[in-house]
Amino acid sequence: MKEVRGEVQGDRISLILSGRIDSNNAGDTEAAIRAIADQAPGKPVLIDAEGLEYISSAGLRVILRLRKTNEDVHIINVNPEVYEIFDMTGFTQMMTVDKAYRVVSVEGAEEIGRGANGTIYRIDQDNVVKVYNNADALEEIQHEREVARKALVLGIPTAISYDVVRVNDSYGSVFELLNAKSFSKILAEEPEKMDWCVKEYVDLLKKIHGTLVPKGQLPVLKDTVLSWGEFMKPYLTEEEHEKLMRMINEIPEDDHMVHGDYHTKNVELVDDEVLLIDMDTLAVGHPILELASMYNAFIGYSEYDHNNVKKFQGFDFETALEFWHKVLSAYLETSDEKKIREVEDKARIIGLIRMIRRSIRRKGLETPDGKAEIELWLSELKELLGKTDSLLFRSNELDVEATGENLSKVIGFVTAFLEEADCPLKTQMQIEVAVEEIFVNIANYAYAPEQGNATVRVEVSDDPVTVTIQFIDQGFPYDPLAKQDPDVTMSAEDRQIGGLGIFMAKKSMDDIAYRYENGKNILTMKKKITG
């Protein structure tokens, strides 16, 4: 009969179903299937359902009975309507049922992004498709969907794919992206928006790096970087390699999110919203690991061939240099060139080992341009290794859960800045008292009875040397300064409980101010450090 074709292929029964299977032909269909299946009793069955337009309940029963005699039934190329029936009736739980994928062409489509694993094209006004390099990308697609969903739950604005399609010999995932324009395109076409781009780009980056990820949900980026470090062993002296590995190992475990491929093609302006895309590299780790891949995207890969950035991002190398410098300055919240250069060098060390490894694997030392590139990068790396002792840089912001246990972490964080500024011990202790009072106050009351995070930000400015410490929480709006100061002339027994801590903070700092802004309590205190 025409609805059933098939044969036994080795240890497998191969069937092709087509047309409609309903009560009119279910009996014949079953007889035809049995005639083939009985030649290899109990063997695995592979059913190609590409031409199957409809299956009624009588048809379902035929498949069900086949499943009773042959445990391993796998149906492929199922059209969406038929798949829905299989899914609703639980067949997808009893056997492997693979959907047929819509075929999408990207010929002539605008390329809007390119990442390590694939290329993103706009297929129409409202939709984009990410085509994966790997032909067997279904697992990667699944992974990216999962991490994008996790990121969204954690508050990162991103698009989640709603469909998987076939593109040429590979797979693609389709996203809705209405009227989107990537930051690369904005930088290329509207250079006057540079500063706006820097601000939005850094705000989103800080949001990503400020997002705590529950343990085990995302890969640990440091592990990958360690493997790059191991790869470098034959190309460095023993001493250099030991130093490199020690510095990578010293990067602390960090449960904050990193994007892993944070360049301007992966940041889109959608209407008025800034959206992050291409989430498959999402991980957790220290921000230096992110800065390394950003350095590569804007500068590293184009250092010797400035056309690379033009090809990849659409803007020229000068724009890339300016943008990267401004981003780093805004991210570190400093205009101190020495400090910016210092962090850039740390990022370059990781960036370079990644590029060297990539070049060795892709081009090899045997090809002329591979050899030139690799030798130059290696000499740079060796030079940087000679003058760098740590890959850590201090962020002036600490984001922790506001609990009493984290007090020592907060104090240690603030003290490091004070020590660097040669703050006298007495002033240091006064500041510590204030920090303790304010943080404990947040830990006890801001989110009670729940818990939440607090951000501590430290800035040291010159002339005269002054430290500014900010506490930010998203708890109940509360102005601790509004409370009347306790009457300290009264005896301890007569005094009202509470209020004393804030009083002490006020006393020990030069200035203390409170404001409530965008759902956040912001307490700012300042003190002059006199040497």
Partner 1 sequence: MSTSAYQHIDLHMHTTVSDGTDTPSEILSRVRDAGLDLFAVTDHDAIRGCSAVISARREGDPHFLCGAEFSTRDEGGKYHILGYGYDPASAAILGVVQMGHELRMNKIRRRIELLAETYGFQFPPEEIRALLANENPGKPHLGNLMTRLGFTKSKEDAILNYINKVKLRTEYIRPETAIRGILFAGGIPVLAHPTYGSGEELYMGEEMEERLRHLLEMGIRGVEAYYSGFTMPMQKELLGYADKYDLYVTAGSDYHGKNKLVVLGDTNLENAADAHPGVRRFLMAVSDRII
Site for partner 1, rule CB under 8 A: 22-25, 27-28, 30-31, 34, 56-58, 60-62, 64-65, 68, 85, 88-91, 93-94
Work out how close the CB of 69 gets to partner 1 at its nearest, in angstroms, rounded to a whole number. Answer: 9
Work out how close the CB of 48 gets to partner 1 at its nearest, in angstroms, rounded to a whole number. Answer: 22
Work out how close the CB of 456 gets to partner 1 at its nearest, in angstroms, rounded to a whole number. Answer: 53
DSSP string, 336-394: -HHHHHHHHHHHHHHHHHHHHHHHHHHT-TTSHHHHHHHHHHHHHHHHHHHH---S---
Work out how close the CB of 57 gets to partner 1 at its nearest, in angstroms, rounded to a whole number. Answer: 5
Work out how close the CB of 47 gets to partner 1 at its nearest, in angstroms, rounded to a whole number. Answer: 17
Give CA–CA dist 160/184, Å, rounded: 21
Closest-CA residue to 210 (of 398, 409, 406): 398
Residue placing its CB nearer to partner 1 in the complex, 23 or 390 = 23
Give CA–CA dist 32/24, Å, rounded: 14
Name, in order, each residue with C-beta under 8 angstroms of 318's C-beta and a sequence gap of 6 or more: none
Work out how close the CB of 102 gets to partner 1 at its nearest, in angstroms, rounded to a whole number. Answer: 25
Residue placing its CB nearer to partner 1 in the complex, 6 or 300 = 6
Residue placing its CB nearer to partner 1 in the complex, 27 or 477 = 27
SS3 208: helix
Residue placing its CB nearer to partner 1 in the complex, 85 or 138 = 85
Give CA–CA dist 315/319, Å, rounded: 6
Residue placing its CB nearer to partner 1 in the complex, 67 or 339 = 67
Work out how close the CB of 61 gets to partner 1 at its nearest, in angstroms, rounded to a whole number. Answer: 4
Work out how close the CB of 29 gets to partner 1 at its nearest, in angstroms, rounded to a whole number. Answer: 10
Work out how close the CB of 314 gets to partner 1 at its nearest, in angstroms, rounded to a whole number. Answer: 50
Residue placing its CB nearer to partner 1 in the complex, 30 or 144 = 30
**E strand or H helix at 145, and its extent?**
helix 138-153
Closest-CA residue to 264 (of 329, 344, 204): 204
Determine contact, residues 281/116, Cβ cutoff 8 Å: yes
Residue placing its CB nearer to partner 1 in the complex, 60 or 411 = 60
Residue placing its CB nearer to partner 1 in the complex, 69 or 307 = 69
- Residue in the structure block whose two tokens are 């025409």: 2
Give CA–CA dist 58/36, Å, rounded: 20
Give CA–CA dist 382/124, Å, rounded: 48
**E strand or H helix at 308, and its extent?**
helix 307-313
Give CA–CA dist 359/86, Å, rounded: 48
Work out how close the CB of 24 gets to partner 1 at its nearest, in angstroms, rounded to a whole number. Answer: 5
Residue placing its CB nearer to partner 1 in the complex, 56 or 170 = 56
Terminal Cα distance for the chain, rounded: 97
Q: Residues 485-519, buried b or exposed e (16+ Cβ, 10 A)?
A: ebeeeeeeeeeeeeeebbbbbbebbeebeeeeeee
Residue placing its CB nearer to partner 1 in the complex, 25 or 319 = 25
What burial class does residue 392 get, using C-beta atoms within 10 Å of its C-beta: 0-12 exposed, 13-18 middle, 19+ buried?
middle
